């Protein structure tokens, strides 16, 4: 791993650079596929599924027979684990419900806010080297709590044209409306424009590789919203000599095995601790089935020494990690001081894996520094806030003159007249 000692603030941008491509690098490819899917629908989707996934599919919809067969393939132990995770995720997200906000701003002027579910949502679930059925729980469960009517799922097929049984089982368990065997850019395009078999949705959720991330960002140009730019996974751990090197190493590798473009970083005030973690990473890495993937991610990763907690916190907030683990003698300093992070994990017995699966928090989080301005997925992600107002005769008399003056000052006479006519009738 790359060791860096006491980088100056002027070096932070270079030190913390992500190994990801930009929109500019991928935009032409995305636009080409988008244009074809918009014009040719399912035929274009089939073309790119064959090209990228190596399978010709006449029908991309998962059938009820496939879903039933998938349930039979899942062990009872895995079903129980999924149900436990689902219960905790439901509990945490149901607690995020808020009541109607209502206030009388002026006598006779009543304003209130209510939330409504987004009617049609699309879920993108990676299914290649790691079938992320856990992400279905993270997205479909709060969507159901919010009251979304249509939940359309896209996930790439394997070389036999099948979807991992755990994905089909979990989708059915969580009330997904349709499961489509479509991956990559073509899946985002299908959800954006709609095809003969894939409904057009209003908002797209879910993580993916760099191509999927850019496709989601460009989808926003076509009257579709997205959860956030959620790209390759990343983790930053801050730890000192009070932490256990083996635990920290396991956390770093848990994210490194996601993909070669993932990034993991350890920040510490102890040089010897960095050395110990480096050794532990090598020891654990050799036993991983996804060693080759993790090794590639480790090449993009950093072990950073800084002199004190204050410098460490400043560097971490500048990075804005997707996942942030705190394992120090002064955890409270970091929990109070962190302002840019997707999700925070505190203490030696809080691995990031807990948030990925079963603690109840959501694992769909902003990456690539977007934690500075985006939240992770939550119940409100699946809802819209609508404002209402009702004004009585007393109310329009009270605020009407102010409206007239302001509209007149902006040169918007029709706005003023809409009030003036009413006030004349009441005089």
Residue numbers belonging to the annotated binding site for NAD(+): 124, 186, 209
Binding-site residues for Zn(2+) sit at 255, 258, 356, 415
Is residue 58 part of the annotated active site? The answer reads no
- Tell me phi and psi for residue 204, to 5 degrees: -115, 135
Q: Which of 93, 164, 323, 363 is catalytic?
A: 323
Q: In angstroms, rounded to a whole number, what is the distance separating the alpha carbons of residues 32 and 29?
A: 5
Token digits of residue 320: 């804005």
Q: Between the CA of residue 131 and those of 161, 165, 208, what are the distances in Å?
A: 14, 9, 11
Torsion 20-353-204-68 (CA) sign? positive
Binding-site residues for substrate sit at 233, 255, 258, 323, 356, 410, 415
Q: 201 near 224, Cβ under 8 Å?
A: yes
Q: 396 near 383, Cβ under 8 Å?
A: no
**SS3 assignment for 171-185:** HHHCCCCEEEECCHH
Beta pairing class for 225-226 and 2-5: unpaired
Token digits of residue 207: 């993580």
Binding-site residues sit at 124, 186, 209, 233, 255, 258, 323, 356, 410, 415
Token digits of residue 370: 């977007």
Compute how many other C-beta atoms are within 10 angstroms of the C-beta atom of residue 291: 16
Is residue 322 part of the annotated active site? The answer reads yes
Q: Which residues of 36-48 are buried (b: 16+ CB within 10 A; e: fewer)?
A: bbbeebbebbbbb
| DSSP 8-state symbol, 100 | P
- Tell me phi and psi for residue 30, to 5 degrees: -60, -45
Token digits of residue 136: 């279905």
Q: Which of 276, 278, 322, 352 is catalytic?
A: 322
Specify the 3-state DSSP secondary structure of 102: strand
Length of the chain in terms of residues written? 427
Compute how many other C-beta atoms are within 10 angstroms of the C-beta atom of residue 390: 11
Helix residue ranges, H only, 41-63: 42-53
Residues noted as catalytic: 322-323
């Amino acid at each position: 791993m790359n060791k860096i000692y006491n980088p100056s603030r002027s070096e932070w941008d270079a030190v913390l650079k992500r190994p990801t491509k930009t929109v500019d690098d991928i935009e032409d490819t995305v636009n080409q596929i988008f244009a074809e899917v918009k014009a040719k629908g399912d035929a274009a989707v089939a073309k790119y599924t064959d090209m990228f996934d190596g399978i010709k599919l006449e029908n991309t919809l998962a059938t009820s027979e496939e879903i039933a067969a998938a349930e039979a393939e899942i062990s009872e132990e895995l079903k129980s684990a999924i149900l436990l995770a689902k219960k905790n995720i439901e509990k945490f997200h149901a607690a995020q419900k808020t009541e109607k906000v209502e206030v009388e701003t002026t006598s006779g002027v009543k304003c209130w806010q209510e939330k409504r579910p987004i009617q049609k949502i699309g879920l993108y679930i990676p299914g290649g080297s790691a079938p992320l059925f856990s992400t279905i729980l993270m997205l479909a469960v709060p969507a159901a709590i919010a009251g979304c009517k249509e939940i359309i799922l896209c996930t790439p097929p394997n070389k036999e044209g099948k979807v991992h049984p755990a994905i089909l089982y979990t989708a059915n368990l969580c009330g997904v409306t349709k499961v489509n065997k479509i991956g990559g850019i073509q899946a985002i395009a299908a959800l954006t424009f709609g095809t003969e078999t894939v409904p057009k949705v209003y908002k797209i959720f879910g993580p993916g590789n760099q191509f999927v991330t850019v496709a989601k960002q460009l989808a926003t140009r076509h009257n579709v919203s997205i959860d956030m730019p959620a790209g390759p996974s990343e983790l930053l751990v801050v730890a000192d000599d009070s932490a256990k090197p083996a635990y920290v190493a396991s956390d770093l590798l848990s994210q490194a095995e996601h993909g070669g473009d993932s990034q993991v970083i350890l920040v510490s005030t102890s040089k010897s601790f960095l050395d110990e973690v480096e050794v532990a990473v090598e020891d654990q890495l050799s036993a991983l089935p996804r060693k080759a993937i993790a090794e590639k991610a480790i090449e993009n990763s950093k072990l950073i020494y800084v002199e004190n907690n204050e410098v460490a916190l400043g560097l971490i907030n500048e990075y804005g990690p997707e996942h942030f683990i705190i394992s120090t003698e002064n955890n409270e300093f970091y929990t109070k001081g962190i302002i840019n992070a997707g999700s925070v994990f505190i203490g030696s017995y809080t691995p990031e894996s807990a948030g990925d699966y079963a603690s109840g928090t959501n694992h769909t989080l902003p990456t690539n520094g977007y934690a500075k301005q985006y939240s992770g997925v939550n119940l409100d992600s699946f809802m819209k806030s609508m404002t209402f107002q009702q004004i009585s005769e007393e109310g329009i008399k009270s605020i009407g003159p102010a409206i007239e003056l302001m509209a007149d000052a902006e040169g918007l006479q029709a706005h003023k007249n809409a009030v003036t006519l009413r006030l004349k009738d009441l005089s």
